[in-house]
Amino acid sequence: MLTFFTDPYKDELLYSAFARYHFLSGNIDLKDTLRELFGKDSVIPNFELGSNLNVLCQKIGTHYNAMELIKKHTVFPYYSPFLPEQRKQEIINNICTSDAVGIFNKIGIIAGSISGKEGIWYCPDCAGNDLKEFGEVYIHREHQLQGIWLCPHHDCFLLRYPFDKTNTSRIEYIKLNDDLMLKDCNRAEDTDLHSKHKLVSKAAYFLLNNDLSEANKDTILKRYKSLLFDRDLANTNLRVRQKDLHNSLVGYFGEHFLNVLQSLPDENDEYNWLRVATRNVKRTVPPLRHILLITFLTDGHIERFFDDIKVENKPFGGGPWPCLNTASNHYKKNVINEVTVAADYKTRKPVGTFECSCGFTYSRRGPDKSNSDKYRIGRIKNFGPIWEGRLRYLLEQGSLSQNAIAKELNCASGTVKKYKQKLFSEGRSTSKSNDIMKKTKSYGRNLLEKYKGLIENCVCSKKLSRTEIRTQFSKEYTYLYRHDRDWLFATMPPAKKPVAIPNNRVNWQERDEKLLEAYKKAYSKLLNLDEPIRITKTRLGRETGTLSLIQNNSNKLPLSTAYLESISETKQAFQIRRCTNIIENKIKEGLPVRLWEMQREAGLNKEDFKKLKPELERIIDSIKGAIRSE
Ligand SMILES: [Zn+2]
Ligand SMILES: [Zn+2]
């Protein structure tokens, strides 16, 4: 452990702190300094990114950690948001454990390749301030960034320090000497060009000093596509209109500025940086160019771009989310732990579906903008047994009007009406249950409600099984069994294993017919999804909550079984349906249909695509033919 260390100043490069350490330690031989800092003298100082930080942190004490040093005292945060997640980790690992040789290749950038900047750079105003405040000058990381020529804090063009790492030995630490630095700021004139440099420089500084850990190559690309779509620079399939994008971006910055930064995209180059940045390809694009694209897309508000990435990753914030089932005793309590997010086909906005264990399922279009959005329902997808039980109870009780019930259950009165018809057509409103209701009304209403609440609570929040409820709450169970069996059975969790007693009382034929109807409905619902999914027996079984019923009784349910067989899709059949959808949509929208695009758009692998190709060609022809003859 070292007896002292030169704590880095704000935005000071680690390299600069080491140089100060070397100076203050009084060591004459740099090798002694290296041994003290890194435990060995063969270390090659890495100017921008640092190296061997794990050993260093052990030597300089526990209040430092390598990750913090990388974030606050290297230029890594300038690159990191644009890297693939895995490579980020590899690079951090390299910096922590090795000399980090060849690290810029790993980043995908050859140092100095764009708007090359060699040597050590400084801002005279910053230097003046540092001298006043700390009595010494140091190397700022924000002045070393590739492609950045203006100080983000002052209107000064950056200057090159006259003595630098290119004209000294590779293993020497240069400590800035203020005598060698110009004191006068070469203040930029207030021109258009200057304001653009300033915008870019401030954006780069933003990257250094914000936690952008949600950002990586993938999330950035997604954000680009979404913004391009908003600006009509990409179509609904998120294909970028490259020519329009090129013209808009060049129009925004002007050719001259882009030329100064060596970043005017070459229209004839299939792999110009603008195309690479907006496509899912392996190459990486230097941060300066990402900054240009982001600045253009957000009109200079880089913070919005990254805020939106956070939102995009979590359009409905962090869970858990409330159940909005007014009939449950956990109404508005945060009991839903998962949200399923899908993109709306037309608007590309995220749609979240929230499914509670009580069966109540709702969705809404996001992203949420405020906390109160948490309680907003876009559409109720499923009411679930508790809600339905409550509705049935209210209907049977008969003391509330349809509208009042709708109000209490927070649904449209049409829904109440629909349910009423459905429930009563199922023959549940027998004179027997009316009798029960009459009796219950007089003495047991409170008890009934109380017990129902208790059982609901067991089902929803405690997640007890059927048997557990029956044994632990046998009094309540028995009471409800006697007084409102329908409600009880609708509310209890499904039995784990279907009881395989030959039950003569079950009218299998009737059940088969009902099931068939349910499957037909579910099938047409699945067919009409915006994002098609493969239709299988299991899927329909799940969709209708009858999976184990049909699996265990297929011989007693011949109609339903045969129907499921007939509509189940093979993988290939599903792929063809999916492609057909895409083709039809394109033709409808007047977009060109290109066979080679289908592979990516339908998410097919190479081999599947090859197999499907002749079929797809036939489909394209026949759809076009059908449209022509219309
Ligand atoms: Zn400055
Ligand atoms: Zn619920």
pLDDT 10s digits, 554-594: 888 888 888 888 788 888 888 888 888 888 888 777 777 88
418 alpha carbon – ligand 2 mean position (Å): 22
What DSSP designation does 45 have? P
203: in domain:
no
Closest ligand to residue 158's CA: 1
Closest ligand to residue 188's CA: 1
Percent of the chain with pLDDT over 90: 33
Closest ligand to residue 333's CA: 2
335 alpha carbon – ligand 2 mean position (Å): 7
186: in domain:
no
Closest ligand to residue 148's CA: 1
Span 514-533, average pLDDT: 84
Highest mean pLDDT among 81-90, 169-178, 464-473: 81-90
310 alpha carbon – ligand 2 mean position (Å): 28
Both 170 and 27 in a single domain?
yes
Which residues partner with 366 through β-bridges?
A: none
Closest ligand to residue 330's CA: 2
Closest ligand to residue 124's CA: 1
Residue after which a domain boundary falls, among 569, 597, 615:
569
User: In this predicted structure, what is the pLDDT of residue 170?
Assistant: 56
Both 592 and 621 in a single domain?
yes
* Residue 629 scores a pLDDT above 60: no
Give the DSSP H/E element, type plus range, for residue 394: helix 384-397
Taking residue 593's Cβ as centre, other Cβ atoms within 10 Å add up to: 17
315 alpha carbon – ligand 2 mean position (Å): 21
* Residue 542 scores a pLDDT above 50: yes
Highest mean pLDDT among 297-306, 490-499, 600-609: 297-306
**Nearest CA-CA partner of 187 in 218, 151, 157:** 157
284 alpha carbon – ligand 1 mean position (Å): 30
Span 283-294, average pLDDT: 93
123 alpha carbon – ligand 1 mean position (Å): 5
Q: At 445, is the pLDDT very low, low, confident or very high (cuts 50, 70, 90)?
A: low
Closest ligand to residue 457's CA: 2
* Residue 303 scores a pLDDT above 60: yes
Query: Which residues surround the ion ligand 2 when the cut-off is CB under 5 Å?
Result: 323, 325, 328, 356, 358, 360
Mean pLDDT across the chain: 84
User: In this predicted structure, what is the pLDDT of residue 435?
Assistant: 46
Both 553 and 453 in a single domain?
no
127 alpha carbon – ligand 1 mean position (Å): 7
440: in domain:
no
Both 555 and 625 in a single domain?
no
Pairing of strands 339-343, 334-336: unpaired
Both 477 and 559 in a single domain?
no
Percent of the chain with pLDDT over 70: 90
Residue after which a domain boundary falls, among 425, 460, 477:
425
User: In this predicted structure, what is the pLDDT of residue 510?
Assistant: 85
Closest ligand to residue 337's CA: 2
* Residue 630 scores a pLDDT above 80: no
421 alpha carbon – ligand 2 mean position (Å): 24
Domain holding 481, by residue range, is: 447-491
Closest ligand to residue 491's CA: 2
Model pLDDT for residues 173-216, shown as the tens digit of each residue: 888 888 888 888 777 676 888 899 999 999 999 999 998 988 99
Residue 132 main-chain phi, psi, to 5 deg: -65, -45
* Residue 429 scores a pLDDT above 50: no
* Residue 172 scores a pLDDT above 80: no
146 alpha carbon – ligand 1 mean position (Å): 16
Residue 353 main-chain phi, psi, to 5 deg: -115, 125
User: In this predicted structure, what is the pLDDT of residue 206?
Assistant: 97
* Residue 164 scores a pLDDT above 70: no
- On the CB side of 496, CA atoms within 13 Å amount to 6
76 or 107: whose pLDDT is higher?
76
Q: Classify burial at 61, counting beta carbons within 10 Å of its beta carbon; exposed 0-12, middle 13-18, buried 19 or more.
A: exposed
Q: How far apart are CA 165 and CA 181, in angstroms?
A: 16
177 alpha carbon – ligand 1 mean position (Å): 17
Pair 130, 137: CB distance under 8 Å: yes
User: In this predicted structure, what is the pLDDT of residue 461?
Assistant: 66
User: In this predicted structure, what is the pLDDT of residue 433?
Assistant: 47
354 alpha carbon – ligand 2 mean position (Å): 10
Closest ligand to residue 202's CA: 1
10 alpha carbon – ligand 1 mean position (Å): 13
Both 248 and 344 in a single domain?
no
346 alpha carbon – ligand 2 mean position (Å): 30
Both 589 and 564 in a single domain?
no
Both 331 and 473 in a single domain?
no
Both 136 and 20 in a single domain?
yes
544 alpha carbon – ligand 1 mean position (Å): 66
66 alpha carbon – ligand 1 mean position (Å): 27
User: In this predicted structure, what is the pLDDT of residue 440?
Assistant: 40
User: In this predicted structure, what is the pLDDT of residue 113?
Assistant: 55
Both 145 and 48 in a single domain?
yes
- Provide the whole-model pTM: 0.56
* Residue 431 scores a pLDDT above 80: no
* Residue 348 scores a pLDDT above 50: yes
Model pLDDT for residues 89-142, shown as the tens digit of each residue: 999 999 999 887 777 777 776 544 565 678 899 999 999 999 999 999 999 999
Q: Which of 206-210, 261-265, 529-533 has the lowest mean pLDDT?
A: 529-533
431: in domain:
no
435: in domain:
no
Closest ligand to residue 383's CA: 2
Q: How far apart are CA 151 and CA 490, in angstroms?
A: 69
Closest ligand to residue 456's CA: 2
Q: How many domains does the chain divide into?
A: 6
Q: How far apart are CA 157 and CA 327, in angstroms?
A: 66
Both 22 and 150 in a single domain?
yes
Q: How far apart are CA 495 and CA 191, in angstroms?
A: 75
176 alpha carbon – ligand 1 mean position (Å): 15
Closest ligand to residue 127's CA: 1
User: In this predicted structure, what is the pLDDT of residue 428?
Assistant: 46
199: in domain:
no
Closest ligand to residue 123's CA: 1
Q: At 279, is the pLDDT very low, low, confident or very high (cuts 50, 70, 90)?
A: very high
599: in domain:
yes
Q: How far apart are CA 564 and CA 519, in angstroms?
A: 8
321 alpha carbon – ligand 2 mean position (Å): 10
Both 63 and 176 in a single domain?
yes
Residue after which a domain boundary falls, among 569, 595, 617:
569
Span 385-403, average pLDDT: 85
| DSSP E strand boundaries for 237-374 | 321-322, 334-336, 339-343, 350-355, 361-365
* Residue 443 scores a pLDDT above 70: no
151: in domain:
yes
326 alpha carbon – ligand 2 mean position (Å): 9
534 or 323: whose pLDDT is higher?
323
Pair 603, 575: CB distance under 8 Å: no
Q: What's the token pair of residue 195?
A: 């304001």
